[in-house]
Structure 1
Amino acid sequence: MNDPETNRKNAIAFYDMMFNQCEAERAIAAYVGDQYIQHNPHVANGKQGFIDYFNQMAQDYPGKQVIVKRSIADGNMVVLHCHQIWPDDLEYAGMDIFRFDDDGKIVEHWDVLQTLPETSAHANGMF
């Protein structure tokens, strides 16, 4: 059975474990299903592609951090609205979409990312 609230909590825990804690293998083992379909063009498809990418990221960018600002769960889909903070004062607003299987495991991922602008036509901010 697929519980949207459990999926939401698991997507956040997965993101924290792989991004903030730099434990890609553990994140995959705990939260990902038998298959992992990746839509980010910079990350190879499948579990090993994910692990390789995030292990390299952890090595290249120590101290990176993600803060989940919002999360939305609907059926087997979860959307995270995130603030990514990287070394050298780089900051991004990101949206990640996860699809869960019937066992509550992540099986597919999409994302979009943009740098935080220096100026804006309004004072609303990105978050």
Structure 2
Amino acid sequence: MIENKNKANAISFYRMAFNGDPETAVKLYVGERYIQHNPVVEDGPEGFIRYFNRMKKEYPEKSVSFLRSVVEGNLVALHTHQVWPGNEEYITMDFFRFDEKGKIVEHWDSIQLMPKESSNNNGMC
């Protein structure tokens, strides 16, 4: 099923780029056009590669774990937990749109620093 393949590809793409190989991630998973909605990342595949190469150099000890993934049609949503140097923890929601060839062509995300205190015991993970 194409939806399961898109979900697996979104996770592989994210993991590969986050862990320091954005060139291969783009080569394997990105379509002819890549639309970026994150305001700190340039549009297009080259901007994506530059951003993640910079992150690899500046923050080599960062890590990511995948908490949930949801697929609807050609959209995949990933809920992640990231730990950065200094034990800063973030929760992210990333959305990827795939083209008819199964390639990523658009990305949106929302990133939130995990608060030290919460009004409930449910956590963000």
TM, length-normalised to structure 2: 0.98
CA distance in structure 1 between the aligned counterparts of 2:33 and 2:124, rounded to whole angstroms? 33
How far apart are residue 48 of structure 1 and its match? 0.3
Counterpart of 1:123 in structure 2 is 121
The 5 A counterparts of 1:99-118 are: 99-118=97-116
CA distance in structure 2 between the aligned counterparts of 1:53 and 1:15, rounded to whole angstroms? 13
CA distance in structure 2 between the aligned counterparts of 1:87 and 1:62, rounded to whole angstroms? 9
Structure 1: 4+ residue segments shifted above 3 A: none
- Percent identical across equivalent pairs? 53
CA distance in structure 2 between the aligned counterparts of 1:34 and 1:64, rounded to whole angstroms? 29
How far apart are residue 103 of structure 1 and its match? 0.3
1:41 correspondence with 2:39: yes
Q: Which one-letter code corresponds to 1:45 in the other structure? A: D
Counterpart of 1:3 in structure 2 is 2
Counterpart of 1:32 in structure 2 is 30
Q: Deviation digits for residues 58-114 of structure 1, max 9, x if unmatched?
A: 000011111010000111000000001101111100000000000000000000000
CA distance in structure 1 between the aligned counterparts of 2:48 and 2:99, rounded to whole angstroms? 18
Counterpart of 1:71 in structure 2 is 69
CA distance in structure 1 between the aligned counterparts of 2:61 and 2:9, rounded to whole angstroms? 23
CA distance in structure 2 between the aligned counterparts of 1:68 and 1:102, rounded to whole angstroms? 25
Matched positions, count: 125
CA distance in structure 1 between the aligned counterparts of 2:57 and 2:10, rounded to whole angstroms? 23
Q: Secondary structure at the match of 2:86?
A: coil
Q: Secondary structure at the match of 2:14?
A: helix
Listed as ranges, the gaps of 5+ residues in structure 2 are: none
CA distance in structure 2 between the aligned counterparts of 1:66 and 1:40, rounded to whole angstroms? 18
The 5 A counterparts of 1:55-66 are: 55-66=53-64
Counterpart of 1:14 in structure 2 is 13
CA distance in structure 2 between the aligned counterparts of 1:63 and 1:30, rounded to whole angstroms? 24
TM, length-normalised to structure 1: 0.97
